A = this chain, B = another copy of it.
Amino acid sequence: MTDKLILNEDRFFDPDPKIRKVARELYEGVKDLPIISPHGHIDPRWFAENKPFPDPAELIVTPDHYVFRMLHSQGIRLESLGIPTVDGSPVEQDRREIWQLFADNFYLFLGTPTGIWLNHEFSQVFGVKEKLNGKSAQRIYEQIQEKLQSPDFLPRALFDRFNIEAISTTDGAADSLEHHETIRKSGWNAKIVPSFRPDGVVNHLHTDIWRQNIKDLGRASGMDIGSYAAYIRALEKRREFFKSRGATSTDHAVLVPYTHELTSGEVNGIFQRALKGRATGDDDAPRFTAHMLMELARMSIEDGLVMQIHPGSYRGHNEMVMKKFGPDKGGDIPIQTEYTFNLHELLNRYGNDPRLTLVIFNLDESTNSRELAPLAGHYPAVKLGPPWWFFDSVEGMTRFRQSVIETAGFYNTVGFNDDTRAFASIPARHDLSRRVDSNFLAGLVTRHVIDLDEAQSLSRALAYDLAKETYRL
């Protein structure tokens, strides 16, 4: 029983000596490339304020639903992990207790990407030299805690050390982007740009939350949104504002990627009903979202923002968790997704237009070879986003490449996104991706599908060029 935490230099490479040799060589060529992170969820405030992260539990456990959903699945209560409640009812406050509980159950992450990322983070970011478990828990807590108080572990210092060339946050339509502005004016030379994610004013227009969001959008855009036309103008203004702050992309989470343009009468009618709180959730709301995907594609063609779609997640599937702890708490479950029919109208209207870049993310692997690769391998606008969420893993990324490259080629994919709220895991995620891609390419080289020099060129494209070029960063 070894208790040392050692990251093997050949980790995630096939043990076959020929594949491993080529994988190493490819990996050597990309491991030190700067990080391009065109889609993620870090909080720009951290970098605007540049205050120390408070403690290991708050840095690593409580903000990361990848971590606590697994603990929850084994019957560990979210309260005991210190996850804050919506109504402020009390939860565990003792950070060392939370950390101990996490450490006691860290074996649950064996074989998971979360386990891989955390071990990388412990070892490479914090210099931890022993495995996390119940016995080592408090020693490791202290070691990380000590580091977090030093200047080298302030957010900006870590950002620089992580070699991040450009990163995009995800921001609501009414966001002031004040933190981005603070960063820009601070003289610190880091590229942290926003992306425009108007879900709150596009989806669920039958809810009170939507109406509140419309008010916020009106305020942010300096307009009175009393009509659909005003709403569209407000969105366009906000997109311009985001662009002026460096944004190069938008993002849209939808349950179903259905696209359909309504008539002017239909959409005005729905919008007016919604403003009065009379829109329906099972008819008006999905039709409006379908229509807005058409409008948002049109806007992207006009203003050049790359359009991203993240469909297929049933958000808040666990209503108890949603109600008690809020959104993004691990209770989102994928659903079967259909693209060929749903995207038909959008692609027929805009899919041949070279000005549109539509990056599709996916949680339903059965569509990869059946629908997405053929769509990306034909329509000029369509590009495939990297393996998302449950698929950002050794096996998941490998399956993605195996199922899409033969039909879509490499150049209709867009490199890697880390898509994370866990800032300190960013290097781990990019490293894992670079290793898995190196290994995948090494498999092609050793089976003589491509040559080594071709693999080297592709390796760099996957690790750096494609993300930078696609997202215009």
Chain A residues in contact with chain B, CB under 8 A?
Answer: 1-2, 7-8, 10-16, 18-19, 69-70, 72-75, 107-113, 116, 314, 317-321, 330-336, 338, 340-341, 344, 347-348, 351-352, 354, 363-366, 369-371, 373-380, 382, 390-391, 393-396, 399, 402-403, 405-412, 444, 446-451, 453-454, 458
Contacts and interface: CB of A to CB of B under 8 A. Distances in A.
Given A318-B352, A351-B318, A409-B110, A380 B73 contact: yes
A370 B377 contact: no
Contact of A333 (B10, B375, B448): B375
Contacts of A391: 369
Contacts of A1: 453
| Interface hub of A107, A352, A403 (most chain B Cβ within 10 A) | A352
A412 B2 CA distance: 25
Number of identical monomers bound together in the oligomeric complex: 3
Given A113-B406, A370-B363, A390-B406, A378 B331 contact: yes
A8 B408 CA distance: 24
16 contacts: A8-B448, A16-B16, A70-B377, A73-B408, A74-B412, A109-B409, A112-B405, A318-B379, A319-B348, A330-B378, A333-B371, A333-B374, A335-B338, A335-B371, A366-B370, A390-B407
Contacts of A454: 107, 110
Given A70-B409, A111-B406, A374-B390, 9 more contacts: A2-B451, A73-B376, A73-B377, A75-B380, A318-B352, A393-B407, A394-B449, A395-B402, A399-B403
Given A318-B378, A366-B365, A12 B448 contact: yes
B369 A340 contact: no
B15 A111 contact: no
A256 to B, nearest CB: 12
A153 B320 CA distance: 55
Contact of A340 (B73, B108, B333): B333
Contact of A334 (B112, B340, B390): B340
A200 B185 CA distance: 67
Given A15-B19, A406-B394, A449-B116, A370 B318 contact: no
